[in-house]
Structure 1
Amino acid sequence: MRNIKLVTGNLREQLTGLLNEASSIYILTSFIMKSGVSLLAPFLKKAVNRGAEVKICTGDYLFVTQPEALERLIEIDSRIEIQLYRSNGRSFHPKAYLFQNTDGDGSFIVGSSNLSNSALTSGVEWSLIINNEVAQEVYLEALDAFSKTFHHEQTITINQETLKDYRTEYEKYHERHPNLLLQWTKSEEEVLTLPTVSGQPEIIREPPVLYRQLTPRPAQQEALEMLSTTLEEGYSKAMVVMATGLGKTYLAGFFARKFKRILFIAHREEILGQAKNSFRNIMPERSMGLYYGRDKEGDADCVFASIYSLGINRHLARFEPGEFDLIIVDEFHHAAAGSYQKVIDFFKPKFLLGITATPDRMDGKDVYAICDGNVAYQLHFIEAIEKKWLAPFHYYGIYDDTDFSQITWLGTRYDEEELALVQLRDDMADKVLKAWKSYKQSRTIAFCSSIRQANFLSEYFNRQGYQTVSLNSKTVGITRGEAIKRLDEGALDMIFTVDLFNEGVDIPSVDTLLFVRPTESLTVFTQQVGRGLRLFAGKDHCVIIDLIGNYRNADIKLQLFNTEPGKEKNGKKASIPAVPPGCELNIELAAVNLLNELNRKRQPKKDKLFWDYIELKKELGRRPTYLELHLHGRSNSREYRQEFKSYPGFLYWADELTEKEKNAFLENETWLVEVESTGMAKSYKMVVLNFMLSKGLDNWLVPVTPNEVAPYFHRYMTEKEYRKRIDFSDKASKQLWQYDEQKVSKLIANMPMTKWSGSSKGLTAFNQGVFSIKIQLPINHNEIVFEWTRQICEYRLHEHFERKDENLKLLVH
């Protein structure tokens, strides 16, 4: 083909030819119609079958994308990755198709064609097809831009569960706007002209801030000592949880001096630029290279790479799995996401270090498995304040009489249009202004719900004589770097923003935080609070001004400041927590009454467990396993056991089982509850059960002897360092680190087999040297009960070692 080609009609022929040859296919369109998917489905299926990587991203702007189109895409092949960009009313209309062949050749198409029949065949469309050999730099830039959009925090993965929600939103939208749907039906999907947005989000590379001496600060020194112990114990993975403002990046740099080649992975380019500067300050003799966007400096001693670039197969293939001695993953609470997991699974470093201020869902469980159960160091910002390593806070809770119960909740956020109706009012802006004037200090960051609210409040404050800016991806007239500089110098009173300062950008001099948004995510709230707690000359404390209404999590978020998180009064957590010395919690009486009322009306536990389960089911696109519920669920998995006796018991209550599964559960509930609840001072019972399950569906109920189990048991207990340390290092078992079949068999007979037989009320037996499970399963129930038993066993082993490891760490500290 020619190097650059203009196509003014029937793009389908060009697309299908490229689809037949490509090893990587990336499609980004503002909307997708079922007719367009049907047109390309056979070619996409063939591509996936020959091993091609296929990623498709579309948007929900004006709800033009048909649910039927997304469903058809899902049906083609589960290996096709599909993301939906949640536009929140912001125009979204890119049209790009990128192709890469195994030999490095390829093409990309940009133009006016969305993924619909008419756009690809009979419509009046203009597209440029460009061979990437003649525009390699532009192609790589387009590839990088696609990756950022595909993995953007506003995208959601499309699966059968999330599709149900989109279908509901789609139908509601078109009930309110029936003419739009009629227009599409009547014109057979002719191209809708959508407004464009100019400009790209600015990349800020802040100048490095050098400490007076490049030696670890106290928190960093503590963490380094724990990491050194981790290395000495033979671990190859660990996580450090350290509050914002304590220097996680410098900690990583100090630790990296022990290794030759380092890969630092993050999801924001600002973080990568700052990390590169920090590492250079610590190790000026090493070469430093960036790997994102146009920068592809992959041969440096220290490589700072965007997860979005590494998520592309051609970029990942640029490296060897064992190329790096140390891999550092910043903001490790993102690491359970598929993009990170793919990269983590690819590389085989000598050591993997995850660093984060806020483990996802506030407890870090979801990354436990990724770091082999080893949280080397953990310091919450409350502890850091108590140690005087972060500034104390003075919190002011201002009552907001907005009735959020009347605003539609969309699963993870409030409906933006409905929220704007109550937020964008002069009387509300005046209330915010008065609260701010009453308690503010010198430099403020205000966190808003939307760009429109940020713009509205900034304009209102400016009319009252204050110097403020609304800083977001659509801001013109001032760059982010200029706004930060002006705020730091005192030329600005306040920056209104949505989420630009959640991660990666710090302004130590900020001494006031203003929250004029409902708290939808405790993780985000934690990150935003951390923006004001850095120590700074002349800053005695940080003022936090927070509007409190009857929105979700209003009563829970204050527990973030609690110095006694486990303490309850009359079986309930207090609405107003105890705070560290030097900190203050000042809450208006009306807000206190509201918090107490919300606390009294907390969602019943069973309902909360159900909705947290449903949220996870949507994320995964299927029913989660028991271990997945534990690792990724918002509720503590132990609560499911407490309320329902077993995970299958919860599924039965929640009506999540088929008729066949319901019958299997009812007939075998006693056995499942026994596996769930049998005492486990050590892991031994579940290790024996795990061995029996490993024999497969047809043989798992065949009785076993201690001699049969011994090799598996010994290997399981000794192959992971933390298993040895937790359950196999007392005086008796330590003697068995070197395998001795007779002694191991004797241990198994005396401990798990005899003990379980004695406590199981006849469900297990150990007679004449043979251990057996005494349940009778009809053939049609065997597979179901086997799978549930396997899931409970897997969960209990994981949860046992995790809990014991936490207990050991508490004793150490």
Structure 2
Amino acid sequence: MNDFLKDLEKSLYKGFIDQKSEQIDSYKPKLLINSAHHNENVLSPLLEDLDKCRSFIFSVAFITESGLATLKSHLYDLKRKGIKGRILTSTFLHFNHPKAFKELLKITNVEVRLTNLKGFHSKGYIFDHDSYYSLIVGSSNLTAQALKENYEWNVHLTSHQNGEIIQHFKSQFEDVWEKAAVLTEEWIYTYEETYKPLDYHAAAKVVELPEDYRINPLEEALLIKPNKMQESALEQIEALRNKGLDKGLVISATGTGKTYLSAFDVRQVAPKRMLFIVHREQILRKAKLDFQRILGGPDSDYGILVGQIKETNARYLFTTIQTISKQGTLHSFDKDLFDYILIDEVHKAGAESYQRVIEYFTPDFLLGMTATPERTDDFNIYELFDYNIAYEIRLQEALEEDMLCPFHYFGVTDIEYEGKFVDDTTIVANLVTEERVNHILEKIDYYSYSGDCVKGLIFCGRNIEAIELSEALNKKGLRTIALTGSDDQDERLRQVERLENGALDYIITVDIFNEGIDIPSINQVVMLRQTKSSIIFIQQLGRGLRKHVSKEFVTIIDFIGNYKNNYLIPIALSGDKSLNKDNIRRRTKETNYIKGVSSINFEEIAKRQIFKSINTSNLTT
């Protein structure tokens, strides 16, 4: 008996006969579940088997785009190694969306067939490892929820190739496979014609109001209630004030509703005069509308101070730091006029303009809000607020609380030029070659997006690269526009509106959209530049994290070249600040720390580039 059979026999003894046995358990039968508390999910062991198999067969009734996304980079790496697989699925209950089938067709090393077998409802994953097989069989379909979040039971088994159980599974699969239809573009077209998705959500009961019915704006505002996170934050902010403290810092991940939170707090404080300071005019107008929705009251209560608009007598005044920090403007107000001052994106407060304003006014309470308090300019935001952290919710927690749109991150391999990967010294001419443009198009098509049409942001390293890349992509049939710091606010807003309305596929930029821009419908973010800062990385990733009815998730595609700061990627995604190289390697290899149905995936070559960066970097610098 060879070593494998001995180990398998001992593992089966422990799994099925005596759990207290001291026998080896390398191949022990296991129950696979999803448990955030125990940091377990079905996806991780499935991917482990997939990555080391020689071939595979899946028999799954239901497949979603998000579920498929969790496997795409692994299937790509298998393709590079010449490894193929087969997936058997169906149109049972019309659960599978036509777009999921279109995504399956992109994976050329996987053959897909559709069975019309009545009541087809199987969920089995079988992996061939030459002399033995591993199986995952149970309740999990190929959906992100089933593989990462839902309450599921699946058994993980190992069988010798001559075992009766594996032969039974394989024969069942082959019987149905032989009679199933091959997935083709023509088949999908026919399916689209008859596709009628079931409404799994109970329809909300509609109550029709009389045409002349008018709800009082104040009553309407009071009907809007804070969410779970906001309720907790409001209690903690109030607790600071009850202690007699006059300032507080809220650290809240992008997309978690900081503006609404501040409006709820103003509602409970009811100040006589409030000042809200932002760093961009487009945020100012959006903030004013949000406050009106939460606070209600007459329009005259809300004023703007920017440019030629000087509505300074309003109870709630919204202004930009560029306007309020001007000496003439600042000193036109009494120091104690505002009893409540809010500063959005307060991580910028190290600048002289912010310092001038903060030192001048004497409010009863100052609230600062930011998603990224850690700075690269050595200014201590925490100290500015006397270390009074009113509330903190980071990316991981926000995902776990289902406050953000789930994301699937793909660290993909950038192009090689003359035998070398793209790096920070590569000239622009070599960043927009025909070969690289085709490489970019191949990756954004393969990893795709959620929804009917792409609404994407592409971040480049240089303005000239953004402009030339936009021209090159437009020649390939895409509809893109490059926006740089030289484009004024009106032009930026106009192009954002075009993107939202479907007149553009992508906006290509450098860093003007890192923060302060709200485009909830963004369903794909492409990073074509090196990661110089984990702060900026999270800001750019965060552009797609707002929820929107048009998408179930956002796709993040990060082109990883030969950059010395690649080690910042796993640091940013995991939040690990240990500066321990072994920890960072582990965060690159094992990515099940990400919460909810989101996933982090690195192509094998891209992963090697990160390991190289970790090995050669002095992390303490």
The normalised TM-score by structure 1 is 0.45
Q: Tell me the amino acid that sits aligned with residue 346 of structure 1.
A: Y
Contact 2:415 2:436 in 1 (8 A): no
Contact 2:455 2:499 in 1 (8 A): yes
Q: Does 1:354 align with 2:362?
A: no
Shift of 1:398: 1.3
Shift of 1:481: 3.3
1:284–1:271 Cα change, 3 Å? same
Shift of 1:366: 1.0
1:344–1:402 Cα change, 3 Å? farther
Match for residue 515 of structure 2? 503
Contact 1:326 1:350 in 2 (8 A): yes
Of residues 401, 409, 414, the one that matches 1:395 is 409
Q: Does 1:543 align with 2:551?
A: no
Of residues 537, 541, 544, the one that matches 1:525 is 537
Contact 1:448 1:497 in 2 (8 A): yes
Contact 2:585 2:611 in 1 (8 A): no
Shift of 1:425: 2.3
Shift of 1:453: 1.6
Match for residue 593 of structure 1? 608
Of residues 428, 442, 464, the one that matches 2:436 is 428
Q: Measure, in 2, the Cα distance between the counterparts of 1:542 and 1:321.
A: 45
CA deviation map 1:164-190 (0-9, x unaligned): xxxxxxxxxxxxxxxxxxxxxxxxxxx
Q: Measure, in 2, the Cα distance between the counterparts of 1:473 and 1:546.
A: 23
Larger Rg: 1
Contact 1:395 1:543 in 2 (8 A): yes
Shift of 1:503: 2.0
Q: Measure, in 1, the Cα distance between the counterparts of 2:479 and 2:421.
A: 32
Q: Does 1:299 align with 2:309?
A: no
Q: Tell me the amino acid that sits aligned with residue 246 of structure 2.
A: S
Q: Measure, in 1, the Cα distance between the counterparts of 2:357 and 2:421.
A: 40
Q: Measure, in 1, the Cα distance between the counterparts of 2:486 and 2:603.
A: 36
CA deviation map 1:638-680 (0-9, x unaligned): xxxxxxxxxxxxxxxxxxxxxxxxxxxxxxxxxxxxxxxxxxx
Match for residue 440 of structure 1? 448
Comparing 363-372 with 262-271, greater Cα deviation is found at 363-372
Shift of 1:328: 0.4
Of residues 246, 254, 257, the one that matches 2:256 is 246
1:252–1:358 Cα change, 3 Å? same
Comparing 298-307 with 327-336, greater Cα deviation is found at 298-307
Q: Tell me the amino acid that sits aligned with residue 263 of structure 2.
A: G
1:211–1:219 Cα change, 3 Å? farther
CA deviation map 1:473-525 (0-9, x unaligned): 5569x943343233223332222122232222211111111111122232222
Q: Does 1:256 align with 2:266?
A: yes
Shift of 1:279: 1.4
Match for residue 377 of structure 1? 391
CA deviation map 1:384-440 (0-9, x unaligned): 011111122111111125699x9999xxxx68xx64243232222221111111112
Q: Does 1:489 align with 2:501?
A: yes
Contact 1:397 1:586 in 2 (8 A): yes
Of residues 373, 379, 386, the one that matches 2:400 is 386
Shift of 1:261: 0.7
Q: Measure, in 1, the Cα distance between the counterparts of 2:575 and 2:556.
A: 17
Q: Measure, in 2, the Cα distance between the counterparts of 1:364 and 1:262.
A: 30
Contact 1:260 1:301 in 2 (8 A): yes
- SS of equivalent to 1:281: helix
- SS of equivalent to 1:506: coil
Shift of 1:566: 5.0
Contact 2:566 2:609 in 1 (8 A): no
Q: Tell me the amino acid that sits aligned with residue 598 of structure 1.
A: S
- SS of equivalent to 2:384: coil
CA deviation map 1:177-216 (0-9, x unaligned): xxxxxxxxxxxxxxxxxxxxxxxxxxxxxxxxx9996222
Q: Measure, in 2, the Cα distance between the counterparts of 1:213 and 1:560.
A: 38
1:544–1:318 Cα change, 3 Å? same
Match for residue 330 of structure 1? 344
Q: Measure, in 1, the Cα distance between the counterparts of 2:544 and 2:314.
A: 35
Q: Measure, in 2, the Cα distance between the counterparts of 1:212 and 1:548.
A: 48
Q: Does 1:465 align with 2:477?
A: yes
Q: Measure, in 1, the Cα distance between the counterparts of 2:358 and 2:437.
A: 46
CA deviation map 1:596-634 (0-9, x unaligned): 1111111264xx2xxxxxxxxxxxxxxxxxxxxxxxxxx
Q: Does 1:215 align with 2:225?
A: yes
Contact 2:574 2:587 in 1 (8 A): no
Q: Tell me the amino acid that sits aligned with residue 316 of structure 1.
A: L
Contact 2:428 2:465 in 1 (8 A): yes
Q: Tell me the amino acid that sits aligned with residue 431 of structure 1.
A: H
Structure-to-structure mapping, 1:605-754, within 5 angstroms: 605=620, 608=621
- SS of equivalent to 2:557: strand
1:326–1:556 Cα change, 3 Å? same
1:549–1:541 Cα change, 3 Å? same
Q: Tell me the amino acid that sits aligned with residue 456 of structure 2.
A: T
Q: Measure, in 2, the Cα distance between the counterparts of 1:535 and 1:543.
A: 13
CA deviation map 1:758-810 (0-9, x unaligned): xxxxxxxxxxxxxxxxxxxxxxxxxxxxxxxxxxxxxxxxxxxxxxxxxxxxx
- SS of equivalent to 1:461: helix
Q: Does 1:367 align with 2:377?
A: no
- The number of equivalent residue pairs is 389
Shift of 1:359: 1.2
Q: Measure, in 2, the Cα distance between the counterparts of 1:222 and 1:365.
A: 28
Contact 2:415 2:422 in 1 (8 A): no
Q: Measure, in 2, the Cα distance between the counterparts of 1:365 and 1:573.
A: 30
Match for residue 358 of structure 2? 344
Contact 1:555 1:575 in 2 (8 A): no
Which segments of 5 or more consecutive residues in structure 1 lack a partner in the other structure?
A: 1-209, 609-813
Q: Tell me the amino acid that sits aligned with residue 364 of structure 2.
A: K
Q: Tell me the amino acid that sits aligned with residue 509 of structure 1.
A: S
1:569–1:212 Cα change, 3 Å? farther
Percent identity between matched residues is: 35
1:364–1:221 Cα change, 3 Å? farther
Match for residue 555 of structure 1? 567
CA deviation map 1:553-607 (0-9, x unaligned): 21112222217665967576535043224122221211111111111111264xx
Q: Does 1:280 align with 2:320?
A: no
Contact 1:362 1:522 in 2 (8 A): no
Comparing 348-357 with 487-496, greater Cα deviation is found at 487-496
Q: Measure, in 2, the Cα distance between the counterparts of 1:517 and 1:211.
A: 43
- SS of equivalent to 1:323: coil
Shift of 1:540: 1.9
Which segments of 5 or more consecutive residues in structure 2 lack a partner in the other structure?
A: 1-219
Match for residue 582 of structure 1? 597
Q: Measure, in 1, the Cα distance between the counterparts of 2:578 and 2:492.
A: 41
Shift of 1:270: 1.1
Contact 2:221 2:295 in 1 (8 A): no
Contact 1:448 1:516 in 2 (8 A): yes
Q: Tell me the amino acid that sits aligned with residue 523 of structure 2.
A: D
- SS of equivalent to 2:443: helix
Shift of 1:249: 1.1
Shift of 1:297: 2.1
**Which one has a larger percent helix, Structure 1 or Structure 2?**
1
- Kindly report the root-mean-square deviation, in angstroms, between the aligned alpha carbons of the 2 structures: 3.0
Higher RCO by CA contacts (8 Å cutoff, separation 6 or greater) = 2
Contact 1:516 1:547 in 2 (8 A): yes
1:310–1:552 Cα change, 3 Å? farther
